[in-house]
């Protein structure tokens, strides 16, 4: 099975975050204005990191780790609050589910980063030579 590169993973992660932010806003335009800014905003950062993984792998690895840890913490907090609101009878199942999905993908991104730092994948983190 072919392993996906960190570059492609982070580009996909960024697009996923952007789509989730847009979906969150679309589900509640009055109450989810920050979702329209943060989803595409952090999504754009992740896409840029994904693009830069090929040219600055070690520096980008640390930046990706920092941003992904920050997002994982935020999504953990927001998912917990969201599911507490659902348990209290508020109609926020979609929002809680969306944030939980972003949490799961963020944890998977941390796993990809951790795996990418190993000795087998460290060569993949080195810049590619012109010879291929």
Share of the chain above pLDDT 70, in %: 86
Specify the higher pLDDT residue, 80 or 127: 80
What is the average pLDDT value for the chain, to the nearest integer? 87
Going by the DSSP 8-state scheme, the letter that residue 127 receives in this structure is P
What pLDDT is recorded for position 64?
Answer: 95
Neighbouring C-beta atoms of residue 119, cutoff 10 Å: 6
Q: How confident is the model at residue 132 (pLDDT cuts 50, 70, 90)?
A: very low
What are the boundaries of each domain within the chain? 6-118
Decide if pLDDT at 86 tops 90.
yes
Name the phi and psi angles at 131, rounded to 5: -80, -15
Q: Report whether 45 contacts 60 (CB < 8 A).
A: no
User: Which range has the worst mean pLDDT, 27-36, 46-55, 56-65, 102-111?
Assistant: 27-36
Share of the chain above pLDDT 90, in %: 68
What pLDDT is recorded for position 126?
Answer: 46
């Amino acid at each position: 099975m072919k392993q996906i590169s960190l570059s492609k993973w982070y580009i996909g992660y960024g697009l996923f975050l952007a789509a989730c932010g847009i979906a969150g806003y679309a589900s509640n335009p009055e109450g989810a204005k920050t979702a329209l800014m943060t989803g595409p905003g952090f999504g754009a950062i992740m896409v840029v990191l994904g693009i830069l993984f090929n040219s600055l792998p070690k520096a980008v690895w640390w930046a990706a780790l920092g941003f992904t840890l920050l997002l994982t913490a935020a999504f953990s907090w927001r998912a917990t609050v969201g599911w507490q609101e659902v348990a209290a009878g508020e109609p926020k199942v979609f929002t809680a589910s969306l944030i939980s999905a972003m949490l799961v993908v963020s944890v998977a991104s941390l796993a990809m980063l951790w795996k990418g730092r190993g000795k087998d994948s460290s060569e993949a983190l080195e810049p590619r030579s012109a010879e291929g």
